[in-house]
Amino acid sequence: MHVIKGTSPLFQCFYLGKIKYLKALKLQETLVQWQTNHLNNCNPILLLLQHYPVYTVGIRSSVYSKQEENHLLSLGADFVRTKRGGLITFHGPGQLVAYPIFNLKIVDFGVRKYVETLEEVIINLSGRYGIQAERSPHTGVWVGNNKLCAMGINCQGRITSHGLALNCNTDMKWFSHIVACGIHGKGVTSFTEILQKPVTVKEVLPMFLDEFSRCFNCDMTPLRHLPEAFSLDDMYEEVSHNSPRSNLLSRQESYEDM
């Protein structure tokens, strides 16, 4: 386990429910700017959510033509070009997405150690199900030749954004239309596929929070639910100012709508 020097950071934790990718992306960008402008007066943020179906590509997005983009759009998913690392991947319901947004200085991490710690969270979480997951030169967390959890981060002035996407009970057919993360000869899997029984985001989330807290040696606030009906401005105000308009829920109650 990585040990963080000094006082444990306190992560403000929010569950956004199912949310369009572009709305979450704009929220991340706004929060990164907020963290940048208030370097010494911001709590670290952990956004947890599921996306509606979307294909996203990273900083090398030029390798995907407009024709390929239109084909994927015709399947009923969105298509978004982003500033994260990595190539193409899919996000959708049944996938636990985590976007930590914070200054790496508070944990005394470099980027490589940060990514390794995210991987450690998922490896430990998989172990709770008796699954032997591992790192790979291709980044992310793997079970054999199949990727269980994709990772792609952005670090701007040591402020992190983007993060990870863990397949719980994702519809794996969406991945059949792409070479996931641009890695040929490899596959994609999920907890549900490995264990041959339904494993939902609702089930996985409390264990994910436990492992995140353990691996980052951090404290975490009770999960706050930001309703989908909230505007982008409402979400930003809620997260950045920690105002009381969202529903402060116990961990058990927080998962009932997933």
What element of type H or E holds 209? helix 201-215
* Residue-level pLDDT at 248: 43
- State the pLDDT at residue 197: 97
Using the 8-state DSSP alphabet, how is residue 7 labeled? S
Active site residue 181: yes
Token pair belonging to 183: 């890695």
DSSP 134: B
Please tell me the pTM assigned to this model: 0.88
Q: Give the per-residue pLDDT at 180.
A: 64
What is the C-alpha to C-alpha distance for residues 5 and 79, in angstroms, rounded to an integer?
A: 41
pLDDT value of residue 247:
43
**Domain boundaries, given as residue ranges, for the chain:** 10-218
pLDDT tens for the 258 residues of the chain, in order: 333 444 788 999 999 999 999 999 999 999 999 999 887 778 899 999 999 999 988 766 566 788 888 999 999 999 988 876 667 889 999 999 999 999 999 999 999 999 999 999 999 999 999 999 999 888 899 999 999 999 989 898 899 999 999 999 999 999 988 876 556 678 999 999 999 999 999 999 999 999 999 999 999 999 999 888 899 999 999 898 764 344 444 334 444 445
**How far is Cα 181 from Cα 221, in angstroms, rounded to an integer?**
33
Q: Please report the pLDDT score of residue 23 as a whole number.
A: 94
User: Which residues, in sequence order, are CB contacts of 141 under 8 Å at separation 6+?
Assistant: 119, 122, 123, 126, 133, 134, 135, 147, 148, 149, 151
Single-letter code of the amino acid located at 85:
G
Residues with Cβ within 8 Å of residue 229, at least 6 apart in sequence? none
Q: Give the DSSP H/E element, type plus range, for residue 96.
A: strand 95-101
The CATH architecture that domain 10-218 belongs to is 2-Layer Sandwich (3.30)
Cβ within 8 Å of residue 126, ≥6 positions away: 132, 133, 141, 143, 148, 191
**List 42, 155, 181, 218, catalytic entry:** 181
Radius of gyration of the chain (CA): 17
